[in-house]
Structure 1
Amino acid sequence: MRLLKPLPMPDPGEPDARSAASYLLWILSKQWKTLVVAGMFGTGWMACIGALPGAIGYGIDQGVRTKDTTALLLWAGVIVTLAALMAVLGIIRHRLAVFNFLVGAYRTVQLTTRHATRVGAALPRRIATGEVVSVGSADPASIGMALDVLGRTTGSVVTFVAVAVILLTISVPLGLVILLGLPLQALVIGPLLKPLQRREHAYREQQGLLTSRANDIVAGLRVLRGIGGEELFAHRYTERSQEVRRFGMKVAAAGAVMKGLQMLLPGLLLVAVTWIGARAAVSGSITPGQLIAVFGYTTFLLMPMSTFLETARKYTTAHAAAKRIVAFLAVEPGVDDEGDKDAPRSFDVLEEPESGLRVESGKLTAVACADPEQAAVLGDRLGRYRDSDAHVDGLLLRDIRLDELRQLVLVSDNDSMFFEGKLRAGLDVAAGADDETVLRAVRTAVAGDAVDSVGGLDGHVDAEARNVSGGQRQRLRLVRALLTDAPVLVLVEPTSAVDAHTEALIAERLREHREGATTVVTTTSPLMLERADTVCFVDDGKVVATGSHRELMDGEPRYRAVVTRDDEDEGQERQ
C-alpha cells in the first residue's frame, strides 16, 4: 500500500451530508488507514517522551545512589536511545499529521468545487458569495486541523493511561489523583463547548455576509464612483465590519476562557501530584529516583492534557465548518440531469412554448424584450438553466443529457466570469483554437484594443478581468463565446456596454462569423436588430410580433417604443 498518495485525489467520493457530525465521521472513515498509522506513530513518539522520567529515575536509583558506573552508563544509553527514537518518530508523526490535514482539506475543497459545478449558474442565486468563499477556503482548513490533531490525541490517551498506571504502582494516591483529575477537567470544560460552538457558527455567518458585501462593492466600484456613493457604502461596510468584530470578540472571549482553563486545570493537577509525591518521599514510601520520576511524569502529563483540550477546541471549530459545508452541499442544482437522449446533430426549429419563441436553424434571430429581465429568463430557458418545455424538433431539452445539451446550446451573458491568468487561456477554454481562429473571433468582437491593453493573447488578465474596462470585458466575453463554435449560440445583451460605432461593426461581423449557424441575440439595439434574419418582440413574457426590424418598426408601435425609447410615440399610437 502506498501510504502517501498525490493530491488532489482522482475521486473524493460521495459525502454523507445528512448533518455536520455525519460529514465529519465520513471524512474520518475515508482516510482511516493513515489516521491509524498516524495514531501509532503518535503513540510511539509520546511513549518515548513519557518514558524519559522513568529512565532518569532508574538512573538515579541504580546508578547515582549506588555509585554504579555501569548502571549509570546503561541508563544514560537508554535515555539517548529514547531521545533518538523520539526524534525519528516525531518527524514521521508530523509528516503524517500534515498529510492527514492536506487530505481532509483537499477532499473538502474537491467536494465543494465539484458541487459548485453541478449547481452551475443557479449557485449565485442560492447562496451568498461570501458563503462560497468561506466554504472553499477557511472551512476546509478547519476540517484538516481536526484530522491533524488525531495522531497526537491517540498517543495522548495511551500514554496518559500508561503513566496513570505507573503512578499507581509507585503510589496509589498519586494514581488516583491522575485518574480522577481528568474527568473533573472534562466536567468543568464540557459545558463551555456548546456556547463556543454557537459563537463560532454566528461568527462564520457574519464573516460570509461581510465577504459578500465586500465583493459587491468591488464589483460595482465604478458605478459607486459615478453616482458618488463611495462614502455611503464605505460607512455601511464599516458598520458591518464592526459587527463582525463584535462577534469575533465573543468568540475570542470564549476561546480565552478555554485557553486559561487549559493552563489552570492541568497546573492545579500538577500541584496536587507534586505535593503528594513530595510528602511520600519525605515519609520514605518512595525513593528519590521515584520522586524525580514523579516530577517528570507530572510535567509530561501537561502535554496529553493540553492535547485533549486542543482536540475539543479544534473539533468545535470543525463542527461549525462542517455545518456550513453540509448546507452548501444541500444546495440543489437549478435543473436536474434527468435526460437520457443524445443532442441532435441537426435540427430545424428550437422552440420555447411558454413565450412562443421559435428559432430557425442556421439563422440569426434577434429577440427584443420590453422587460430587460425577460431577456435573461429566455436565455436561461433556451440553455435549460431553468426548466421549461423548450424543445428542438419536438425533443424536449429536459430529455437530453445535460452534458450533451451544454455542447449543443451555449448561453453567454454579462455575468460570466474570467479567471486570473493568461488571456488566451481565458478566451479559448477548450484550448483547441489556433492563432488564426482566435484572432478572427477577436476581430468579430472588435476586441483588438482589449487584447492589446493586457499585452496580447499571452498577456495577464486579473480575476474577473478587472484590468480592462467594462466595454472591453464585454467584448472579450463575446470572443470567448464565438471560440466555442456552439451549434446554438445565445447572446444576452452582448453590446450593451459598447459605443454605437463599435456596436455597428460587431453587428456586421457577427452575422458573417456565424453564417450558417444558429444564433440568438437578445437586444433592443437597432444596429443589431437590423442585421437579424428574424426579430421577435417579447412583451409581458410572450412573443407578440415577428418579422424583420423594418417591418416591426412600421407595424408594431410597442416595438418601436422599446427600440427608440420613445414612450410618447407608443402612447399616441395606442390612442
Structure 2
Amino acid sequence: MQIRDLPYPDPGVPDARSGPRFLLWLGRNQLGGQLKSLAWGLLHFGAIAGLPYMVGVAVEAVLDRSGGRLALSGALIGLLGIAIAVGDTMLHRTAVTNWITAAARVQQLLARKTAALGSALTRRVAAGEVVAVSTGDVEKIGWFVEALSRFAAAALTVVLVCVGLVVYQPALGVIVAVGIPVLALAVLPLLPRATRRADFQREKAGRATELASDTVAGLRVLRGIGGEELFLDRYRSASQEVRTAAVRSARMWAVISAIQVLMPGLLLIAVVWQGVHLAREGRITVGELVTVYSAIMILNYPLRHFEEIAMAYSFSRPSAKRAARVLSLQRTAEPAGSRDAKVGGKEAGATGSGHVESGNAVSGDAGAGRAGAGRAGAGRAGERHDRFGLAGSTEALPSTDGSLTPTGDLYDPATGLLAPAGRLTAVVCGDPDEAGRLAERLGGHPAFDEAAGLPSVRLGDVPLDDLPLAAARTAVLVQDKDPILLSGTLRDLLDVPASGAVSPEEALDAAQCSDVLDALAQASVDDDPMAAHLTERGRSLSGGQRQRLALARSLVTDPEALVLDEPTSAVDSHTEARVADGIRHLRGGRTTVVLTSSPLLLDRAERVVFLADGEVTAVGAHRELVHSEPRYRAVVTRETDSERVAADTRADTHTLTDFDIEETA
C-alpha cells in the first residue's frame, strides 16, 4: 500500500481485544511495507557497519605503503557511502509510508466505528477521549509501526557486527559480543517505570483534552452564566497536571538516554585499553585495533534504535489500548431468537391488557424467535389494531445497500408506543429525559437499555436490531434535540442519502427557511444561498436557524419513518405553526413521530400519545387529552400544582352544580 492509494478500500476487522493485540494486528496488515523497510534498513546499517573494516584496511595499506590496496579501500569506502545515502533515503521513505498508512488505517477504522455507533458513541466514551484517540493517539501508533522495521534492521546489524568481530579479532570481539547485549539490556529495569509514567501522562492529557472539548462545546452557556473563569481555572489546573506528568516522564527517558551514552563509552574504554595492551604485545595490528574501535563507535548509531523502539512502544501501548477500547464497542443488538420483551420484571407478551406474568419464552430457531418477538407486546399491539383499525404492513422497500427496508407501523414493545404507518404521531413524555431515551430506542440505538434486556423496536413486523445497519438507517431516521451542522456550503449540508422524492427546495420551504436563505444569500459572493459557507456546527447562525436547517436536512432524506425530538424548541410561535403545517404536508403518507410538548405541534398531529413512567398512559387528540388527562395538561401547559388543584376544584364544583340543578328540576 502506497500513500497515493489511500484510503483503504477496506481497512479490515481489527483485533481490539487489547492494545498489544491491536498493534500486532496492525503489524501483520503492514507486513509487505515492513519487509521492504527492513531490506532498505539492512542496506543502510550494513553499509555503515562495513566502514570500520574498510578504514582498517586503508590504515594497513598506509602502513604497508601499498597504493593499490589504499585505492581499492578508498573506492569501496565511496561505494559504501553511496549505499548509506541510498539506503537511508529509501529507509526513511518506506518507514514514513508505514507510519502514514498505519495512521490512515486506524483513522478509517475509527471513522467507520463512529458512523456505526452514531450518537451512542459519546454516551459510552467521553467526547474528549474520542478526540484524543483520533489525533494524538493515531500519531503515536503510527510512530511505533514506523520504528519497528528500523529497530529490526538495527538489531540484525548489531548481531552481524558482533559475530563478524568475533571472527575477525577474537580477543577483542568477545569483549564486544558480551558488552553489546549488556548495553541493550541495561535500560530494561527502567522501562516499566518509564511506561507507567508515560501512561499517567497520557491519562492526564486525555482528561485535559476532554475538559477543553466540553468547555468549547458549552462556551456560549458558560458566558451566559459567567462561568468562564471557573472552567478556565479548571483547565489551567488540568494543564499543569499534564505538564508535571510530562516532566516526570521526560526525566525518566533522560536517564535512559544517559545510560545509552554512558555504557557504550565504558565499553569503548575497555576495548581500547585491552586493544592497546594486545597491540604492544604484537598480538594484533594497528589496523585491527582501528577496525574494532571504529566498529564500536558506529554501533552507537543502531543501538539508539533500541531506545527509540522502547519509547515508541511505551507511548503507543496506552494509545493502542484507548483505540482498541473504542473499536471494541458494538452497536447494541440482541441475538435473533432470544428477544424476550421484559419490562419492569414482566414480559410484553400474551395477555390482552398488555402485561403477562413473568417467565421465559425460549425458541429453538431464529424464525420462531422472531415470531416470539412479534408476539412480545402482542396485547398492546392487538389492542391498538382493534382501537384504531390499523393493520401492520410487511411490505418492503429497497435500502441503500440493496437489502429490503420494511414498512409499516413503528412500534416500541417496551413502552407500548405505536406510530401508525403514514400518519403524524406526536409523543409527550412526562419526564424530559425519557424523550431522549425514547428517541435513542426508536433509532435502533438503545444505548440506555444495554443491560436491561429490552426488546427491539419494530417497523412493521421486523425488529430493527435484526436489520443490517444501512437498512435500519434507511428505515428510521432520528433527528436529535441538538442536531449538528457540519462546516461547508448549504448545498453540501443537503447533499445526503435520500429517496429523491423530496427536493431541497421543498424541504427548505416546509422548514420555513426563507429568512435563513436570505441571510445566506447576502453572505454569498454570487448571491447564491446554496453556495454560502456554514461555519463549524453552524455557529454563525441563530439557534432557530440551525434547528430549521437541520429539519430541512432530515426532510430531504425522506426516510420510511422520521423521528423528530423537539424540532421547534428554538423557534418563535408564528414560525412554529408554519413549520408544523409544513411537516404535516410534506410528510403526508409517511410515518412521522414528533417528541414535543409544544401545543402548536400537538394540535396539528393526527394522533397524540402521552408517556408517563415508561409506558403509554393515554392516546387521543390534543384537545381531548388537555381536558381528560391532568398529567398531560400539566406537561403541555406548564401548569403548576396549585393551578392543577384549582382546576380540579372548579371541575368538581361545576359537576355538583349541574347535579343539584337536575335534582331541583
Secondary structure in 2 aligned to 1:276?
A: helix
Superposed, 1:1-40 pairs within 5 Å as: 6-40=5-39
Q: Among 416, 420, 431, which residue is 2:487 paired with? A: 420
- State whether residues 2 and 101 of structure 2, in contact with CA within 8 Å, keep that contact through their aligned partners in structure 1: no
- State whether residues 121 and 334 of structure 1, in contact with CA within 8 Å, keep that contact through their aligned partners in structure 2: no
Tell me the residue number matched to 2:511: 445
TM-score by length of 1: 0.92
- State whether residues 557 and 569 of structure 1, in contact with CA within 8 Å, keep that contact through their aligned partners in structure 2: no
Partners in 2 of 1:25 and 1:516 — Cα distance?
Answer: 53
Superposed, 1:356-367 pairs within 5 Å as: 356-367=416-427
Q: Among 133, 136, 139, which residue is 1:138 paired with? A: 136
Residue 505 of structure 1 pairs with residue 578 of structure 2: yes
Partners in 2 of 1:370 and 1:318 — Cα distance?
Answer: 48
Give the letter aligned to residue 529 of structure 1. L
CA shift for structure 1 position 170: 4.7
CA shift for structure 1 position 216: 1.2
Q: Among 571, 591, 599, which residue is 1:518 paired with? A: 591
- State whether residues 169 and 288 of structure 2, in contact with CA within 8 Å, keep that contact through their aligned partners in structure 1: no
Tell me the residue number matched to 1:106: 104
Tell me the residue number matched to 1:156: 154
Partners in 1 of 2:205 and 2:509 — Cα distance?
Answer: 44
Tell me the residue number matched to 2:563: 490
Q: CA distance change for structure 1 residues 242 and 449 in 2, over 3 Å: closer, same or farther?
A: farther
Residue 378 of structure 1 pairs with residue 433 of structure 2: no
Q: CA distance change for structure 1 residues 433 and 541 in 2, over 3 Å: closer, same or farther?
A: same
- State whether residues 428 and 609 of structure 2, in contact with CA within 8 Å, keep that contact through their aligned partners in structure 1: yes
Q: Tell which deviates more after alignment, 388-397 or 541-550.
A: 388-397
- State whether residues 366 and 521 of structure 1, in contact with CA within 8 Å, keep that contact through their aligned partners in structure 2: yes
Where has structure 1 moved over 4 Å in runs of 4 or more? Answer: 2-5, 336-343, 345-348, 431-434
CA shift for structure 1 position 157: 2.0
CA shift for structure 1 position 393: 4.0
Tell me the residue number matched to 1:54: 53
Secondary structure in 2 aligned to 1:149?
A: helix
Give the letter aligned to residue 19 of structure 2. A
Q: CA RMSD, aligned part only?
A: 2.5
Q: Among 557, 561, 567, which residue is 2:630 paired with? A: 557
Secondary structure in 2 aligned to 1:491?
A: strand
Secondary structure in 1 aligned to 2:578?
A: helix
CA shift for structure 1 position 431: 7.7
Q: CA distance change for structure 1 residues 277 and 459 in 2, over 3 Å: closer, same or farther?
A: farther
Q: CA distance change for structure 1 residues 257 and 431 in 2, over 3 Å: closer, same or farther?
A: farther
- State whether residues 411 and 489 of structure 1, in contact with CA within 8 Å, keep that contact through their aligned partners in structure 2: yes
- State whether residues 538 and 546 of structure 2, in contact with CA within 8 Å, keep that contact through their aligned partners in structure 1: yes
Tell me the residue number matched to 2:396: 344
CA shift for structure 1 position 401: 3.7
**1:466-491 deviation line (CA, Å, top 9, x unaligned):** 33232222222111111101121110
CA shift for structure 1 position 552: 2.0
Q: CA distance change for structure 1 residues 573 and 182 in 2, over 3 Å: closer, same or farther?
A: farther
Tell me the residue number matched to 2:644: 570
Partners in 2 of 1:150 and 1:405 — Cα distance?
Answer: 42
Tell me the residue number matched to 1:147: 145
Residue 354 of structure 1 pairs with residue 414 of structure 2: yes
Partners in 1 of 2:414 and 2:306 — Cα distance?
Answer: 62
Tell me the residue number matched to 2:117: 119
Secondary structure in 1 aligned to 2:119?
A: helix
Secondary structure in 2 aligned to 1:111?
A: helix
Tell me the residue number matched to 2:313: 315
- State whether residues 122 and 334 of structure 1, in contact with CA within 8 Å, keep that contact through their aligned partners in structure 2: no
Q: CA distance change for structure 1 residues 448 and 196 in 2, over 3 Å: closer, same or farther?
A: farther
Q: CA distance change for structure 1 residues 205 and 563 in 2, over 3 Å: closer, same or farther?
A: same
Partners in 2 of 1:66 and 1:398 — Cα distance?
Answer: 85
Partners in 1 of 2:53 and 2:498 — Cα distance?
Answer: 66
Give the letter aligned to residue 316 of structure 1. S
Residue 390 of structure 1 pairs with residue 463 of structure 2: no
- State whether residues 93 and 151 of structure 1, in contact with CA within 8 Å, keep that contact through their aligned partners in structure 2: no
Percent same amino acid among aligned pairs? 40
Unaligned ranges ≥5, structure 2: 338-365, 371-393, 398-405, 447-453, 650-665
Superposed, 1:536-555 pairs within 5 Å as: 536-555=609-628
- State whether residues 349 and 392 of structure 1, in contact with CA within 8 Å, keep that contact through their aligned partners in structure 2: yes
Superposed, 1:74-223 pairs within 5 Å as: 74-223=72-221
Partners in 2 of 1:393 and 1:39 — Cα distance?
Answer: 58
- State whether residues 558 and 570 of structure 1, in contact with CA within 8 Å, keep that contact through their aligned partners in structure 2: no
CA shift for structure 1 position 296: 2.0
Secondary structure in 1 aligned to 2:396?
A: coil
Secondary structure in 1 aligned to 2:16?
A: coil
Give the letter aligned to residue 74 of structure 2. A
Q: CA distance change for structure 1 residues 574 and 140 in 2, over 3 Å: closer, same or farther?
A: same
Partners in 2 of 1:343 and 1:396 — Cα distance?
Answer: 14
Unaligned ranges ≥5, structure 1: none
Q: Among 264, 267, 276, which residue is 2:265 paired with? A: 267
Partners in 2 of 1:520 and 1:570 — Cα distance?
Answer: 28
Tell me the residue number matched to 1:276: 274
Partners in 2 of 1:479 and 1:292 — Cα distance?
Answer: 79
Q: CA distance change for structure 1 residues 280 and 3 in 2, over 3 Å: closer, same or farther?
A: farther
Partners in 1 of 2:228 and 2:305 — Cα distance?
Answer: 48
Q: Among 252, 255, 265, which residue is 1:254 paired with? A: 252
- State whether residues 184 and 303 of structure 2, in contact with CA within 8 Å, keep that contact through their aligned partners in structure 1: no
- State whether residues 110 and 134 of structure 2, in contact with CA within 8 Å, keep that contact through their aligned partners in structure 1: yes
**1:493-540 deviation line (CA, Å, top 9, x unaligned):** 011112222222212222222122221111111121121111222222
Give the letter aligned to residue 212 of structure 1. E
Tell me the residue number matched to 1:533: 606
Partners in 2 of 1:562 and 1:104 — Cα distance?
Answer: 53
Q: Among 393, 404, 427, which residue is 2:471 paired with? A: 404
Secondary structure in 1 aligned to 2:503?
A: helix
Partners in 1 of 2:138 and 2:634 — Cα distance?
Answer: 53
**1:196-230 deviation line (CA, Å, top 9, x unaligned):** 21222222222222212111111111111111111
- State whether residues 508 and 531 of structure 1, in contact with CA within 8 Å, keep that contact through their aligned partners in structure 2: yes
Q: Tell which deviates more after alignment, 264-273 or 232-241.
A: 264-273
CA shift for structure 1 position 378: 2.0
Secondary structure in 2 aligned to 1:457?
A: helix
